[in-house]
Amino acid sequence: MRSPQRLAQKGFTLIELLIVAIMLAILAAIVIPQFSGTTEGAQQAALRSDLAGIRSAIALYRQEHGEFPGAVAATGGTCTGGTASTGAIGTEAAFLDQLGLYTNANGQACNLRVGTSFSLGPYLDQRTLPTNPVTNSNTLVIVGTADAAAGDLTMGGDAAGAGWKYDLTSGKFIANDTNNDTNGVAFDTY
């Protein structure tokens, strides 16, 4: 008769499992802090990108119209077959319509391109502003000329709850947030 042989046991010992667990904990302690700043960095990059896009649209509008968007009423044009703007001078509606709809040389806006009457624009892909990734708001506050004339870089401080601020006399468009980013730079100075 054959003597019974011991079967070789397969698996890990408790000590081997503890070593692996400790190594994973050390790796997690190193890697997780690296990713915690990623969200803030992405928000800051998105904010800079949004600002650049909107500022480019404002500059192009001014080049073609001679005025900044919102500085004249977007109303009054004959928009045959479409819907004419109702945005009064100095309002968020005029700003959004003049950048997001088709316009004529006078800044009047229509939702349709009507021959050569409304042949300019649109300058933004849609008639809304992107949500400010830091403040989580897409509303716009238009500030007065006194703030810009005084050289106030923050254009009058915080406009409660708004995502963006805009001075229609200078064309200055900024984020509505006086807090600092991870590098100590105020968001409203981007």
Average per-residue pLDDT in the chain? 85
Cα separation, 47 vs 100, in Å, equals: 19
Q: How confident is the model at residue 173 (pLDDT cuts 50, 70, 90)?
A: very high
pLDDT of 121 = 92
Let me know if residue 17 belongs to a domain.
no
Number of separate domains in the chain:
1
Let me know if residue 16 belongs to a domain.
no
Q: Specify whether the CB–CB gap between 41 and 140 falls below 8 A.
A: no
Q: Is the pLDDT of residue 146 over 50?
A: no
Let me know if residue 182 belongs to a domain.
yes
pLDDT of 109 = 96
Q: Is the pLDDT of residue 129 over 90?
A: yes
Neighbours of 123 (CB within 10 A): 20
Q: Is the pLDDT of residue 158 over 60?
A: no
pLDDT of 2 = 55
Let me know if residue 88 belongs to a domain.
yes
Let me know if residue 87 belongs to a domain.
yes
pLDDT of 150 = 42
Give me the amino acid identity at 133.
P
Let me know if residue 14 belongs to a domain.
no
Q: Specify whether the CB–CB gap between 120 and 102 falls below 8 A.
A: yes
Q: Which residues constitute the domain of residue 53?
A: 43-189
Cα separation, 92 vs 41, in Å, equals: 29
Q: How confident is the model at residue 167 (pLDDT cuts 50, 70, 90)?
A: very high
pLDDT of 60 = 95
Let me know if residue 21 belongs to a domain.
no
pLDDT of 68 = 95
Let me know if residue 37 belongs to a domain.
no
For 65-118, the pLDDT digits (tens) are 999 999 999 998 888 889 999 999 999 999 999 999 999 999 999 999 988 889
